[in-house]
A and B are shown apart, each in its own frame.
Chain A
Amino acid sequence: MTQWKVILNIAKTHLLTKMKSTATASLGVTFGIGAYITLVSFMTGLNAMLDDLILNQTPHIHLYNEIQPTEKQPIALYDAFEGAFNVVHSVKPKQSQRKIHNALPILDYLKKDPEVKGATPQVRAQIFYLSGSIELGGNLIGVDIMEEVRLSNFRDYIVEGSPEDLQNLDNGILLGAGLAKKMSLSVGDRVQISTVRGDIFPLKIVGFYQSGIAEIDNIQSYANLATVQRILGEATNYITDINIKLNNIEAALPMSQMLEKQFNIKATDIKTANAQFETGTDIRNLITYAVSITLLIVAGFGIYNILNMLIYEKMNDIAILKATGFSGRDVQLIFMSQAMIIGLVGGILGLCIGFGLSVFIDQLPFDTEALPTIETFPVNFKVHYYVIGIVFALISTFIAGYLPSNKAKRIDPVRIIRGT
């Protein structure tokens, strides 16, 4: 039977009479946990922002026709050379169209799939933007604008004008912000574009598009699907890309593999397309935890030292307690309680400091051209980081307290009382 009241009372008295050491040990934990909370909130905030920046613009599955050479060159089909060692020079890509075969039936099929949140057709066209005698190379993407807005945060990236403006104007264009700057154009102006074949079309600027990624903003613009088809002189079934958004991102890889087989088409999933991006996220997380754990280990050594010192000073107390009927386990619990109190107090203080710093960072202005939707530093406030933080603090103080308290448990009272 453990008399917790007595044990905690003795632990409390020890801690209070050694206020300075107690404070030092607790502050160690406070710093460790405070740093963890601040770092993890900021880093994951940053991760979420970058996720938004790149991943939200990337479809979960992207279907397109890849220009590539055929696997089987014609000579392989010729019986006379079967089994021979054939060398083919100057292999050319297979003769095929950019457009997706049966794009409309595929779209219909996808829209019926319950796993699919939405599928949008796109027509990508290589074009030139004409500004006086200067020709700027670029892309014009024909989209079903209202579907894009529904499925991604496309609207956030339209810095002037609105998706509805594009929807309502047949020959409108959402011009890349970088292009607008280069050509000194503003909303309402007209811009001439030319196709690869040389046909020239005037389009009216209904807004600007700014993704935050300069390479895109300097070349890419959006127009209605039908407009681009007309510019290219193609029929309404001419579709070069299909972007698919799923209800569950984890289904992207298996589904892309299935679609590839089923429709004999190239399908890339988001995970494969952004593998390096995930690495960046992982590394940021790794840094956060490495720094926090290092700080906690330092704090742990502090607790270990202070407890060792305390036990050395309290040899007499330990001997007396044991002589008057406290068991080794009781003595161990007394010192473990001290460690845990230090961990709990230091940890809770650390959570508060971490929260305070996070709030502070969250209010710092963060103005960057590249990120039109962000105004302050991104910070992620999630309860589970705070739970992890306090558990961290308790585990590290438990480990730091265990060894010294175990020593106290085994102290032989006779040796102390005899005074040798």
Chain B
Amino acid sequence: MSPVLETKNINKYFRKPVDFHVLKDISFSIKKGEFASIMGKSGSGKSTLLYILSTMDTDYEGKLFLNNELVTGNSHQALSKIRNEHIGFVFQFHYLLSEFTVLENVMLPAKKLGVKTYQEIENDAKEKLEMLNIGHLGLKRASRISGGEKKRVAIARALINNPTILMGDEPTGNLDSFNAENVFQIFKRLKEEQGLSLLVVTHDYDFAKRTDRIIEMEDGRIISSGP
């Protein structure tokens, strides 16, 4: 099966405060419908890698392909569009626009994409929230809900444009075991029912071992890429 995401010899350096080779020769690929997890000690470069894969960070060497198309070297404008259409991202910390309602937060990327009507987008957003068991929060201000709820809203937002790949930086990080399990089940269902590809950084081995493949990182290198 063809890869949805592929990297070839990605290297990244931090120049400040000291020269630091943070990612070393990262080459791997994620196939369509694959649910992969990344594990590794803190500071091994997992987040840094994810920022590059999500096209937000463009300061690296090597090549990044999405759906077999070279992404590296595209303009910021083009990369924004790629992120909007193809990549759903769940941050390590919960990031929502605090002055908007939960529903508006979820709808924003779809409004930016501008393909569906307002009504369709609203229905989609409600559906995603229902799926994550937070349908009742729709009209609350994003600043008025708990941390675990924010995380799930962020997942709903990442899914709103039906992306090619969903990336998460510890998406179950500060969720209780019930909600963590819930998120895992949702990811699994998305993979199985919609063929969504997922790449998730996690510290939770119980979570990781149930994914298709564990990619292990150490000191900026991939030391094993599963299964």
Q: Which of A's residues lie within 8 Å of B, judged by CB?
A: 1, 3, 5-6, 10, 13-14, 17, 316-317, 319-330, 413-414, 417-419
Contact = CB atoms under 8 A, between A and B. Distances in A.
A417 B99 contact: no
A5 B109 contact: no
A419 B93 contact: yes
B99 to A, nearest CB: 5
A270 B84 CA distance: 69
8 contacts: A3-B112, A3-B114, A6-B112, A319-B95, A324-B83, A325-B109, A326-B84, A329-B77
Contacts of A3: 111-112, 114
A324 B111 contact: no
A1 B114 contact: yes
Contacts of B85: 325
Contact of B108 (A316, A324, A329): A324
Nearest to A17: B99
B57 interface: yes
A324 B157 contact: yes
Contacts of A325: 80-81, 83-85, 109, 112-113, 161
A325 B160 CA distance: 12
A10 B109 CA distance: 12
Contacts of A330: 80, 112
Contacts of A323: 54, 56, 83, 89, 91, 95
Given A6-B112, A13-B100, A413-B56, A327 B76 contact: yes
Interface of B: 47, 51, 54, 56-57, 76-77, 80-81, 83-85, 89, 91-93, 95-100, 108-109, 111-114, 157, 161
Contacts of B157: 324
A40 B76 CA distance: 47
B38 to A, nearest CB: 16
B89 A324 contact: yes
Given A323-B89, A325-B85, A414 B80 contact: no
Contacts of A316: 95, 98
A172 B178 CA distance: 113
Given A3-B114, A320-B97, A326-B84, 18 more contacts: A13-B100, A316-B98, A319-B95, A322-B80, A323-B91, A324-B109, A324-B112, A325-B84, A325-B109, A325-B113, A325-B161, A326-B112, A328-B77, A414-B51, A417-B51, A417-B56, A417-B93, A419-B93
A407 B108 CA distance: 22
A317 B104 CA distance: 13
Contacts of B98: 316-317
B80 to A, nearest CB: 4
A285 B214 CA distance: 76
Contact of A13 (B91, B95, B99): B99
A327 B77 contact: yes
Given A17-B99, A323-B54, A418 B47 contact: yes
A323 B79 CA distance: 10
A5 B85 CA distance: 19
Contact of A320 (B47, B84, B92, B96): B96
Given A325-B83, A327-B80, A414-B56, A14 B99 contact: yes
Contacts of A1: 114
Contacts of A418: 47, 51
B76 A328 contact: yes
A319 to B, nearest CB: 7
B97 A326 contact: no
A317 to B, nearest CB: 5
